[in-house]
A and B are shown apart, each in its own frame.
Chain A
Amino acid sequence: MAGQVAVGSRSGLRSALPLLLPAYLWLTVAIFLPLSAMVFFSFMTDLPLSGKAWSFTLDNYMTFFSQGLYPTLLLASLRLGLEVTLWCVVIGYPAAYVLAKVLKGRSREAIFLLVILPFWSNGLVRIFSWAMVLREGGILDTALNAALPFEINIDLMYSYPAVIIGLVHSYVPYMVLTCYLTLQAIDDSLIEAGRSLGASRLQMLKRVIVPLAMPGLVAGAALIFVPVVGSFMEPRILGGRTGTFYGTIIEDQFVAVFNWPLGAALSFILLAVVLVMLALASPVLKRAA
Chain B
Amino acid sequence: MRMPKPTAFLTSIAVFASALTLAAKADEVHVLNWKGYGADEPWAVAAFEKATGNKVVNDFFNSEQEMLTKLRTNPGLYDVVMINAAFNDQAMAEKLIQPIDVSKIPNYADISPDKAGSPMLARDGKVNGVPWVWGLTALAINEKSFETPPTSIAEMWNEAHKGRVVIRDDAVEAVQFGAIATGQNINDIKDMEAVKAKLTSLMPQIKTFWSSENDWNQMVASNQIDIGTYWSGSADRAKTHFKLPVSLVIPQEGAVAWLDAFSIPVGSKNVAGAEAFINYMIDPGFYVEWVTKVGAPVSANTKAVEALPEDAFNRKVMGDPDVAKRIQFQAPITDAQREAYLALWQELKVNVK
Contact = CB atoms under 8 A, between A and B. Distances in A.
Interface of A: 49-51, 67, 69, 72-73, 76, 135-138, 157-158, 236, 240-244, 249, 252, 255-259
Contact of A257 (B95, B338, B350, B352): B338
Nearest to B62: A255
Contact of B350 (A72, A236, A258): A72
Contacts of B211: 236
B68 interface: yes
Q: Across chains A and B, which 6 residue pairs bring their CB atoms closest together, nearest first? A: A240-B208, A258-B65, A244-B349, A158-B208, A241-B206, A69-B350
Interface in B313-353: 335, 338-339, 342-343, 346-347, 349-350, 352-353
A241 B349 contact: yes
Contacts of B335: 257-258
Q: Interface size class for chain B?
A: 20 to 34
Contacts, number: 73
Contact of B72 (A49, A73, A157, A252): A49
B171 A256 contact: yes
A138 B222 contact: yes
5 contacts: A69-B343, A243-B209, A252-B171, A256-B170, A256-B171
Nearest to A155: B224
A256 B73 contact: no
Interface in B38-71: 62-63, 65-66, 68-69
Nearest to A46: B335
Contact of B346 (A49, A76, A243, A249): A249
B342 A252 contact: yes
A241 B203 contact: yes
A244 B346 CA distance: 8
A67 B62 CA distance: 28
Given A51-B94, A244-B353, A249-B346, A256 B63 contact: yes
B63 A242 contact: no
Contacts of A157: 224
Interface string B258-300: 0000000000000000000000000000000000000000000
Contacts of A252: 171, 342, 346
Contacts of B223: 137
Given A49-B73, A257-B338, A242 B65 contact: no
Contacts of B171: 252, 256-257
B224 A136 contact: yes
A136 to B, nearest CB: 6
A73 B338 contact: no
A236 B210 CA distance: 9
B198 interface: no
A129 B350 CA distance: 26
B349 A158 contact: no
B349 A257 contact: no
Nearest to B72: A49
B207 interface: yes
Given A136-B224, A138-B222, A158 B339 contact: no
B353 A67 contact: no
Contacts of A242: 352-353
Interface centre among A69, A256, A257 (most CB of B within 10 A): A256
Contact of A256 (B65, B95, B347): B65
A50 B72 contact: yes
A141 to B, nearest CB: 10
A258 B68 contact: yes
